[in-house]
């Protein structure tokens, strides 16, 4: 698990190494409200029909679909059911039910996860803004944790970071500088997401919202104190994350 953050002066060089970074926000003592992310590019209604290989939610959140997605998640088996071409409200309602099912075994909400944070990813998944999920208590592991290769239904991994909230002033922040002043640390994070759905399922942004933006596990590094300075604004903007194996080989 990397315990340091490198940065470059050129954001273009950074983007060559980082195609998509999702931001996870870890809260200190209590859940701090953050504005929700709207999927303004998502379709408002669904006219899809079911195929022989997938089950498509058409109008309102279906508890049977949530149950099937939850079962796939907990049993680590890819889901053939798919929530696609949903409205913003439908996707969020599915996520709320999905998280409620998981919270009994994974604990309370301790933070938030943002996904599809760059324009290329948003275009691919047919949304115009980032999407948001939640992090539950038992999803976050300490450095040195051993995780099985098949940790999810459709496991993936990526280098990432977490910023930790140190003040409730985050709720009234309107500029990057004000938001930075309400943070107290940045934490290297090896994210271990789970796409849940079978690889044959065609996904869009609201389908990812329904499965809590793929949140499954992540390994925390050592917190690095930060401050609201121009230097830290540049460091966070131009961050470069490198993942290596035990021998030091870049993954």
Q: What are the structural domain ranges in the chain?
A: 6-240
Q: pLDDT 10s per residue in the chain (251 long)? A: 444 444 433 333 333 333 333 345 454 433 333 333 333 334 443 333 334 344 444 434 478 889 999 999 999 999 988 767 788 788 999 999 999 999 999 999 999 999 999 999 999 999 999 999 999 999 999 999 999 999 999 999 999 999 999 999 999 999 999 999 999 999 999 999 999 999 998 889 999 999 999 999 999 999 999 999 999 999 998 988 888 888 999 88
Q: Are 224 and 144 in contact (CB under 8 A)?
A: no
Q: Name the token pair of 97.
A: 């039910």
Among the listed residues 119, 137, 174, the one whose alpha carbon sits nearest the alpha carbon of residue 26: 137
Torsion of CA 191, 194, 199, 200, to 10 degrees: -140
- CA–CA distance from 226 to each of 151, 159, 235, 242, 250 (Å)? 32, 20, 10, 20, 27
What would the CATH number be for the domain defined by 6-240?
Answer: 3.90.850.10
């Amino acid at each position: 698990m990397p315990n340091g953050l490198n940065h470059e002066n050129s954001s273009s060089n950074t983007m060559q190494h980082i195609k998509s970074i999702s931001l996870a926000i870890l809260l200190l003592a209590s859940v701090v409200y953050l504005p929700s992310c709207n999927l303004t590019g998502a379709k408002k209604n669904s006219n899809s029909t079911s195929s022989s290989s997938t089950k498509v939610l058409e109008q309102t959140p279906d508890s049977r679909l949530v149950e099937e997605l939850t079962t796939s998640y907990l049993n680590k088996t890819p889901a053939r059911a798919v929530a696609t071409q949903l409205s913003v409200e439908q996707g969020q309602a599915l996520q709320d039910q999905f998280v409620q099912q998981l919270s009994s075994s994974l604990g309370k909400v301790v933070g938030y996860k943002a996904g599809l944070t760059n324009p290329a990813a948003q275009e691919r998944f047919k949304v115009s803004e980032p999407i948001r999920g939640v992090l539950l208590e038992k999803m976050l592991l300490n450095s040195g944790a051993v995780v099985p290769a098949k940790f999810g239904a459709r496991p993936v991994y990526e280098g990432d970071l977490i910023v930790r909230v140190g003040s409730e002033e985050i709720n009234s922040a309107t500029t990057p500088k004000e938001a930075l002043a309400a943070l107290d640390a940045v934490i290297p994070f090896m994210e271990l997401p789970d796409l849940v759905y079978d690889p044959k399922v065609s996904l869009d942004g609201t389908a990812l919202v329904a499965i809590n933006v793929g949140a499954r596990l992540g390994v925390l590094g050592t917190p690095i104190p930060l401050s609201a300075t121009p230097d830290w604004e540049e460091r966070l903007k131009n961050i470069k994350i490198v993942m290596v194996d035990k021998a030091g080989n870049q993954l």
